[in-house]
Structure formats: C-alpha cells, structure tokens
Chains A and B, each alone.
Chain A
Amino acid sequence: MLTMLEEVVLLAVDENSGALRSTRPYGTAYALVGAVFFDLALARKIDTDTERIQILDRNPTGSTTLDRVLAAMAQRGDITSVRQWIEEIFSRRDDLEGEALASLIRQGILRHEKSKRLWIIDVERFPMADNRPQRDVRVRLAETILSDTIPETRDIMLVSLADSCGLLGYVLSSEQIARRRERIELLSNLETISRKVAVAIGDLEDSVRQGLPRMM
C-alpha cells in the first residue's frame, strides 16, 4: 500500500507527459508535510487533538522519510502544537516530493527521464511505468467527493491533501468541484492536520499576495 505522501505525489504526475503539476505551488510543500503527519498518524506513531500533537510510539516505521520526521519530533519535546510542527518540518525544506518520487520509481510505478530543453535546461519527467495505482487514487478521490457516504480514513485524508495541493481539477471538472465544494470542505475539516495545513497555506498565500517577507 502506498503512503499518503506517495499517493498525493503520484496524483500530481501528468499521466500523459510525466510532468509534475499543481495549481497551488505555494500550498503543495505544506500539504506534503501534512501527508507525512497523516502517514505517521495512520501508523499509530502520533496522535492529535484539536491543537496538540503527541508521539505515541517512537519505534521506526521502516520508511526513511517518516522515520526522519518521527526522530526529529522525538528530539523536540518543546514543540507540542500541530501548527508549530507543520512549520518546523516545512522550515527544514526536506525534499519530500523527491523522496516520494524515488520511492514510486523503486516500486515500479514511475520511470525517471531527464532531457534538455533548448540544449541547456534540464527537464525531469516521471512517465507512468504502471498506471493502475494512479488510476486507483483518482477513482477513490472522485468517488469520495461525489458520493454522500462516510468515507474511509485514508480517503478523507486524500481529499484534503489533493485540495490543498490544487490537484482536484485534474480528476474532476470545475462544475463537479463547485457543486461538491461543501462536501470537500466538510471532509477537509475533519482532520486537525488538514485544518492546520489549510491555515498555514492561507497565511503563506496572503504573504505572497501582499509581497511581504513571510514571518515564521
């Protein structure tokens, strides 16, 4: 089973060109931090309430990315709020996207191609080696949003991450998204991690719009 981080990065890969895409570039880095926290929560390594985050189990998960974040959290007992931890991991500028892509390549889902544009600019693409996992993610995402049933936990997390990264438009039409916006907001609000990621993205986008240096 793919991690939430791998699923959202896989969703960002254009199935035709292998290029990475997002309509919310500023939000994506925060959303990927949220994905790592979701993976740690699903592995029962951390838990949250409406504000705070708590480590339940410091034993490694076996995932390099998750274990690095878990180890960092274990060393910083002074940070207890979800928002602070999102900012802390965000500020480390870990290449979460690159780590997820590398894992997807190792699993035989993506290939890695490098080429030159105008003989100078390096262009990286990640064509599908196996398009079934992305198709599965897309189907789950669409069904979760378009139905009115109670979703599985992973699918609730997937909706909030895809929305934060601006990826819903690659799966659903604008009309479908507009018609189901209330449902998307409802599902995205269920998880504390999603709510705090949304606030962090909103603050960052406000800073960018105002052209001000972002205050950490």
Chain B
Amino acid sequence: MIQVNEETRGDWRIVTVAGRADGEAADALEAALRSAVEANARVVADFSGLTYISSASLRSVLQAARAAQTRGSEFAICGLNQFVKEVFETTGLHRLLRIYGELPC
C-alpha cells in the first residue's frame, strides 16, 4: 500500500510516495505519476518515504518516465533509501532515469 501526496514548488510538481510499492500498488503509482506528468512540465517523484519497490511498480515508474519523454517534459526521482537505491542500481534503471539525492527545488 502506498500513500501519495502532491504539491507544487516553483516550477516543479512534487509527487511524494510513501509505503510499500508492491504489485498491488503498481496501478495507483502509475496513475499518480502519469497524471502529474500529463499536467506539468517538470515532475519529481519523492521516494524518500518508500520502503519497498517491486518489479511491477518499477515498470510503473518507467512507464511514467516514458510518458514524460513522449511529451517532452522533465521527470526525475529523488530521495531513494538504501534498499530502493540498490534495486534501481541492480536493474539499471538509474541509467534510464534522472535521479537526484534530494528534491531539486
């Protein structure tokens, strides 16, 4: 189960995601990120409250990034804890996505 909150700071839309991004949360995660990407030119997903991410949710993140790329908008991720960071590095997703240590705004 994930909790999603959104706020605007400067020209960034911040989507804060907390909890376990497992297979049952994947649809909600993709819907939240895609919705933000479709309505904003710059979106950052703050994953600092994320404790777990599964393959299904990783696909959701990647497809949101794909939607941003198609629209020509900016999509980034920040605040990965050690576990989630290791997952991104194991899969190589860090090579396809823009990842910041902290919020870029």
Chain A residues packing against B (C-beta within 8 Å): 41, 44, 46-50, 54, 56, 149-153, 156, 186, 189-193
Contact = CB atoms under 8 A, between A and B. Distances in A.
A1 to B, nearest CB: 17
A49 B55 contact: yes
Interface in B53-68: 53-56, 58-59, 62-63, 65-66
Interface in B8-45: 22-24, 26
B88 to A, nearest CB: 10
A153 B63 contact: yes
A1 B81 CA distance: 38
Contacts of B54: 47-49, 54
A149 B62 CA distance: 11
7 smallest A-B Cβ distances: which pairs? Answer: A47-B23, A150-B66, A48-B55, A189-B92, A47-B56, A56-B23, A47-B54
9 contacts: A47-B54, A48-B55, A54-B23, A149-B66, A150-B62, A150-B65, A189-B91, A190-B91, A193-B55
B96 A150 contact: yes
Contacts of A149: 66, 69-70
Place the interface of chain B in its size category.
Answer: 20 to 34
Given A44-B56, A150-B65, A190-B62, A56 B93 contact: no
Interface of B: 22-24, 26, 52-56, 58-59, 62-63, 65-66, 69-70, 86-87, 90-93, 95-96
- B interface, over-half SS: helix
Nearest to B23: A47
Contacts of A151: 66
B69 A186 contact: no
B53 to A, nearest CB: 8
A193 B58 CA distance: 13
B90 A50 contact: yes
Given A47-B22, A47-B23, A190-B91, A152 B66 contact: yes
Contacts of A56: 23-24
